Amino acid sequence: MRLYRFLTAVDDATFCHKVTAALNKGWHLYGSPTYAYDKKEKVMRCGQAVVKDVEGQEYVPGETKLGDW
């Protein structure tokens, strides 16, 4: 199965650590990062899509927990 996640966080070290943790669990960057201003919170936010192939497993919507991989 191929898994997809979109990671987001405030533009600080938290975001970098979140992406780094995913990469160290075998996820791969997918596309370019995004960067936008959150007008309500008055902060910049980052986003990055990541994907991961898991052999021998079947994707089940609502049951497959992406954070477990």
Residue 15 lies in a domain: yes
Residue 19 lies in a domain: yes
Residue 62 lies in a domain: no
pLDDT value for 29? 98
Q: Domain of 50? A: 2-57
Cα gap 49→30, rounded to integer Å: 5
pLDDT value for 66? 85
Model pLDDT for residues 8-46, shown as the tens digit of each residue: 999 999 999 999 999 999 999 999 999 999 999 999 999
Q: Answer positive or negative: Cα dihedral of 44, 21, 28, 58.
A: negative
Residue 65 lies in a domain: no
Residue 26 lies in a domain: yes
For the chain, the domain total comes to: 1
Residue 63 lies in a domain: no
Residue 18 lies in a domain: yes
pTM for the predicted model, two decimal places: 0.85
pLDDT value for 69? 83
Residue 66 lies in a domain: no
